[in-house]
Every structure is written in structure tokens, then in C-alpha cells.
């Protein structure tokens, strides 16, 4: 098993409210910031970050997601050749795409940052992630 280290930044969004950010880059070259969200079940991309050309056609099942404040939102799926988390490459991946505008309003107001994605437990568990706050890095095992 190989350990891959991914650096992250810890920011204080509000007093005593800390969040972990890392870099994400899509196969089309788009790059942005990703929140490492251990409470999220799925990894999601912001609809304004990924181009609609990557969206998959919806089938007969309506996809829904619970958002901030409990609201239910529609989601799309997108298929990408790869994404990079730091220098770590994940190939042939399908991710959910949702509207992260509420999250971006908060981040823009408090730290002037824009969020492109949320890294959820699906990827964190798959790669047996270990988050080391002291070293500001996350380890994946492949």
C-alpha cells in the first residue's frame, strides 16, 4: 500500500469555526478550492465550477440531496476523466453536481474565498484518509 500526502489549509471561517481546504483540479484544467467535509456522505462539485458538457443524462430517478438548512435540492451527475487533489490523481470518476452558492456566500463574506467542491466520505473512506491537523496534510492509501 502506498501513502500519498495531500496538503491542506486550515482557515477560521468565524470565531472558533475551523474548516479544511485543499486544491482540486479537473481534467479540463479548471482549478479551485475544496472543503474537506468529513460530515458529507458524497463528494460534490459546484454547478458553476464544472461545465455542463460533463453532465450525465438524468434517468427516470430524480436525484435529490439535502443541503444546508435541510432544504432539498436537485443534483446532476458528471463524469470526468480525472480529478487532482493536490498531486493525487483519481481517474474515471463520477461526481454529484449541486448549487454551492449558499456555501460560497458564507466563504466570500468571511474569508474572500470561493469553494468549487466538497470532499465527502465516499472518497475519504475509499482511500482510507487520515487527516493530520498538526502537519496540515491528509494521507490517502492506494
Mean pLDDT, the chain, whole residue set? 89
Beta strands in the chain (DSSP E): 3-7, 9-14, 17-26, 31-36, 44-46, 64-66, 72-74, 76-85, 88-98, 115-119, 130-132, 137-141
In a domain, 94, yes or no: yes
Question: For 61-83, how does the pLDDT look when each residue is reduced to its tens digit (9 = 90+)?
Answer: 444 444 544 454 678 999 899 99
What is the total count of domains within the chain? 1
Question: For 89-104, how does the pLDDT look when each residue is reduced to its tens digit (9 = 90+)?
Answer: 999 999 999 999 999 9
Domain coverage including residue 126: 3-104+114-141
In a domain, 109, yes or no: no
User: By C-alpha distance, which of 142, 139, 136, 124 is closest to 21?
Assistant: 136
Could you tell me the CATH number of the domain that includes residue 121? 2.40.70.10
pLDDT-based confidence at residue 25 (cuts at 50, 70, 90): very high
Is 109 within 8 Å of 97 (Cβ atoms)? no
pTM comes to: 0.87
User: By C-alpha distance, which of 22, 120, 128, 124 is closest to 65?
Assistant: 120
Amino acid at each position: 500500500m502506498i501513502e500519498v500526502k495531500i496538503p491542506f489549509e486550515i482557515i477560521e471561517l468565524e470565531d472558533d469555526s475551523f474548516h479544511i481546504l485543499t486544491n482540486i483540479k479537473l481534467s479540463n484544467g479548471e482549478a479551485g478550492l475544496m472543503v474537506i467535509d468529513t460530515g458529507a456522505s458524497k463528494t460534490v462539485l459546484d454547478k458553476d465550477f464544472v461545465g455542463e458538457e460533463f453532465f450525465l443524462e438524468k434517468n427516470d430517478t430524480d436525484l435529490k440531496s439535502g443541503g444546508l438548512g435541510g432544504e432539498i435540492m436537485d443534483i446532476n451527475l458528471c463524469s470526468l476523466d480525472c480529478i487532482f487533489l493536490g498531486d493525487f490523481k483519481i481517474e474515471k470518476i463520477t461526481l454529484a453536481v449541486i448549487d454551492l452558492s449558499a456555501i460560497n456566500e458564507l466563504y466570500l463574506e468571511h474569508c474572500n474565498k470561493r469553494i468549487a467542491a466538497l470532499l465527502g466520505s465516499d472518497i475519504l473512506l475509499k482511500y482510507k484518509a487520515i487527516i493530520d491537523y498538526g502537519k496540515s496534510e491528509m494521507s490517502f492509501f492506494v
